[in-house]
Structure 1
C-alpha cells in the first residue's frame, strides 16, 4: 500500500505558460526583424555567420542570457522551460548565436560551481548580463555521460570563434581561459550556422575554478542541460519545416489544383505532424524535468534526444523533397535547416548513444 505521507515528485507540466508565450513573441519578433532566412543566406558566405548586434539584443536587451541564473547572482531567475522557448525560436530561424553553448551549457557548468569558486560566480554575472560569451572547450559531439577530453588541443568546439572565455577541463580541474590566451583555428562545419573550431589554450594559462571531481560533475550538468534543451531547438526546426511545407504545397499548383491536395502528400505531412506532436511532448518533458530538478531528468533528456534528433532530420528531409526543385537550391533556406538538423543529430550525443543511456537507466540490455 502506498504511504500517502511520502513526498512525491511534481507531475510533468508540458503546457506553455503566459510568460513563456510572451517571451516567445519577443524573441520571434526580434529574429524576424533582424535575422530572417534571407539575411542568413547572405551571412553564411561571409567570414562570420553571426548577425552584428543580434547577441546583445537577445542576451542583454531581452535578458535571455541570464534566464538560468538566479536573481541573486545577476540573472533573471527563470528556468529551463523559458530557455527552451528561446531555443525553439532559434531553431525555427536557424539563428547563428552562441545561446546553447554559452547561455545553457557554460552557464549550467558554472552554476554547479557556485559553492566551489568565487571566480565562477563572477563569471556567471558576466554571462547573465550578455557582456561575456563563455564556451565549454569540448567537442560538440560530447554526450552528457562521456568523459570530457583533457588534452592540450580540442577539435570540434562549437561557437569557439564567438567566445570571450573558454572553460577548459584539464587533468587537475576546470580552468577559465580568456580567448586571448588560446589559439582558435576555424574548421569547416556541415552546419554553416554553427561554426566549429580547434581550441588550443596556451600552456599554463587560465584560472582554476574547481578540482577534478567537481569538474566532472559540473561538466556533466552542463552537457545534460545542453542535450535536454537541444531537443527544443530540434522541435523548432521541425515546426518550421512542417509549416513551410504546408504553405508551399498550398500555393504550388499542378493540374489546376494545389499539390498539397494530393493524397500521397497529405499522408506524408500528416506523418510529419504526428512526429512533431511526439517531439513537442518529449522536448517539453525534458525542459520541465531539468527545471524542477527531477531525479528522472537524465532519463527524460535521453528520451528527448533519441526521439527529437530523428524527428528533426526527417522533417528537414521531407521539407526539401516536398518543395521539389526549389528545395534543392541555395536560394531556399531548406538546406540550412537540413544541415542544422543533421549537425544536431550528433551534437551532445547521438541518438544511438542516448538509446544506450536509456537502456542503462531502466535496466535493459541495449541493442547490439
Structure 2
C-alpha cells in the first residue's frame, strides 16, 4: 500500500461508524425510562394545560427531570458536577422530548444553557452549579443573531451590561441569559443575571409550548464567558449544538407522528375497510417511515461526531439540520392530512406537533439555510 493510500485509509473524516453511533444498553435504558416518565406526566392534554398557565411548563415535571433523569448534568464533565456523558446521550433525551412535545426547559436550559456556561466553568460568579441543580433556569440568545443590542462595561464588582436581547426561548422565566455583548476590546459572550425589575416582553409565537420573550436590562451584572479572540469559536460550537438539538427533537416528533397516524389508519373505517389497507395510504405511510429513518440516521451520526470533536462535526450537523427539518415538516403535513377532517382541527394533537416543527424551523433555519451551510463548508 502506497503512503498516499494509507493516509486516506487512516483519515478520521468521513467516518462510517464513529463511537456512540450504535445505542448501547445505557442509552436504551435511558430512553425507556424517559419515555415512561413522559408518557405518564406529559401527554398532549397535560402539555396544553401547563403551557396555558404560569411559566408555561410544569415546575414539578422539571424537578423530576432534573432529579431523577439528570437532564441538566448528563453531558457535563464530572469535575464540574456532571455525569460525564456526551451528546449521544443528549440526543436520546431530546428525541424523547420531541416525542412528548415537552415544554419544560430541557432544550434551552439543560442543553444550551449548561453547555454555554461550560465555556468558562471556573469563572468567578459562574452560575453553572445552580443551573445544574435546576434551581436556576438558563437560556441562550440566538447565536447568529444581528438583532441583539447589548453593551458591556467593567464595573467595580464585575461586568455590567445594558441593552436589549430579543427572541429568547423561555426568556420570560429565565434566571440566566447567555448573550453576546460589545465590550471595548471586542465581542464577548456573557452570562447575565437580570434583576427582578428587568423589562421582559412576551412575544406572540406560533408554538405556545415554547414561549419567547424580549429582555431589556440596565447595568445588569454579568460574567464573561469568553475573551474577544475566543467568542466566535464558542458561538459557532453552540450554534451547531442548537441545530443538532432541534434535529434530534424533530426526529422524535416524526416518530410520534408516524405512530399516531399508523394507529389512526388502522382503526378509521371507510367503505367497510380500515383506510390503512388502501394502497395510496400505505405508500404515504411507507414514505414517512423512510423519512424517519433518514432523520434518525442523520441526527444520531451528527451527535456521535459532535461528542468526539464539535469542530469536525460541522458538516454532519448541517446535514442533520437539513434532513431532519425537511422530514419533520413533511411528516407534520402528512399527519394532518391522513387524519382526515379531524386532523385539520386545531384541537388535534397533530397541529401541536406541526406548530413545534415550524417553531424549530424559525429558531435554527429552514432546510434551505442548512443546505447553504453545507455548500459553504464543502466549498461549492
**TM-score, with structure 2 as normaliser:** 0.88
Preserved contact between residue 232 and residue 283 of structure 1 (Cα < 8 Å): yes
The equivalent residue for 1:67 is 74
Report the CA distance between 1:4 and its aligned residue.
Answer: 6.4
Query: CA offsets per residue over residues 279-298 of structure 1, 9 Å max, x none?
Result: 01101011101111165311
The yes-or-no answer on 1:291 pairing with 2:307 is yes
Distance (Å, rounded) in 2 between the aligned partners of 1:54 and 1:214: 36
Q: Partner of 2:189: helix, strand, or coil? A: strand
The yes-or-no answer on 1:180 pairing with 2:191 is no
**TM-score, with structure 1 as normaliser:** 0.90
Q: 1:127 aligns with which of 131, 148, 161?
A: 131
Preserved contact between residue 279 and residue 308 of structure 1 (Cα < 8 Å): yes
Query: CA offsets per residue over residues 193-229 of structure 1, 9 Å max, x none?
Result: 0001001122353233333233332222222112112
Preserved contact between residue 48 and residue 209 of structure 2 (Cα < 8 Å): no
Q: Pick 1 or 2: higher relative contact order, CA cutoff 8 A, min separation 6.
A: 1
- Give the gaps of 5 or more residues in structure 1: none
Query: CA offsets per residue over residues 14-57 of structure 1, 9 Å max, x none?
Result: 32111111111111111111111111233333344302311111
The yes-or-no answer on 1:22 pairing with 2:26 is no
The yes-or-no answer on 1:56 pairing with 2:71 is no
Number of positions where the alignment pairs a residue of Structure 1 with one of Structure 2: 356
Q: Partner of 2:195: helix, strand, or coil? A: helix
Q: Partner of 2:364: helix, strand, or coil? A: coil
Preserved contact between residue 329 and residue 358 of structure 2 (Cα < 8 Å): yes
Query: CA offsets per residue over residues 132-170 of structure 1, 9 Å max, x none?
Result: 21111x24xx55xx6683432122111112311112311
1:204-219 matched pairs, under 5 angstroms: 204-219=220-235
Report the CA distance between 1:5 and its aligned residue.
Answer: 11
Q: 1:163 aligns with which of 167, 174, 199?
A: 174
Preserved contact between residue 161 and residue 184 of structure 1 (Cα < 8 Å): yes
Q: Partner of 1:14: helix, strand, or coil? A: coil
Q: Partner of 2:23: helix, strand, or coil? A: coil
